[in-house]
Structures are given as structure tokens and as C-alpha cells.
Amino acid sequence: MGRKKTAQELVDFINSIPDSKMLGFTHGEHELFKDVNFRLDMQGLTSGRPQYYNLHVQINKGTTITSLKRETGKSVAKALVPMDGSWSAQKIRGKLIADKLL
């Protein structure tokens, strides 16, 4: 799969995340949403003040994208989201897409 197509797969994944998974975060590290190739993980809170939710999109172990199989667990998009609830799901998606690493 070409780099452009792989990047589009990532964007498609981010756009498929339901709004309910992008709002009302709880503390601690956990998986928020996944498909066969990618997962959205809560990496916890940043240190310092103010604190932010630290979200990462990572490559799943069972990915079907050949070019990513050796990159399992690697973060391919990140977003620091304010804890005050001021960001919409669409704004979080936009930040993940803007900061994608593919």
C-alpha cells in the first residue's frame, strides 16, 4: 500500500471514531476505539498545569496494512485535549488529522 493510501486509511479511521468516544474522557490509560488497523488510546493526563488529555492513534498488532506491520504500537497521530471540555469531537478529529505522522 502506498504512503498516500496509508495516510488516507488513517484519516478514514479518525473520521470513523464516534463522537461519544471523543467526549467525556475518564482518567487513566485505556483504549477508546479501534478497528483492525488502528486504535485510539487515552495515554493519561499530561503533567504540569494546566493538564491535558493525551490521545494517541496507534497501529494495531493485527493490522492488514503491509507497510505498517513492523510498526505495531507506534503512534501515528496525537492530540493534547483540554480537560475543560471546551473541544468538540470535530475539533479533536481535526487536531489528530493535522498532527498525523503518516
- Write down the pLDDT at residue 72: 92
Structure letter (DSSP) for residue 83: T
Find the helix or strand (DSSP H, E) in which 32 lies.
strand 30-34
Average pLDDT value for residue range 21-47: 92
What is the overall mean pLDDT for the chain?
Answer: 92
**Could you tell me the pTM of the whole model?**
0.90
The band of 43, judged by pLDDT with boundaries at 50, 70 and 90, is very high
Residue 10's pLDDT is 97
Q: Determine the Cα–Cα distance for residues 76 and 46; give it in Å rounded to an integer.
A: 18
Query: Quick one: which H or E segment has residue 15?
Result: helix 3-16
Whether the predicted pLDDT of 1 surpasses 80: no
Residue from 100, 68, 82 nearest 22 by CA = 82
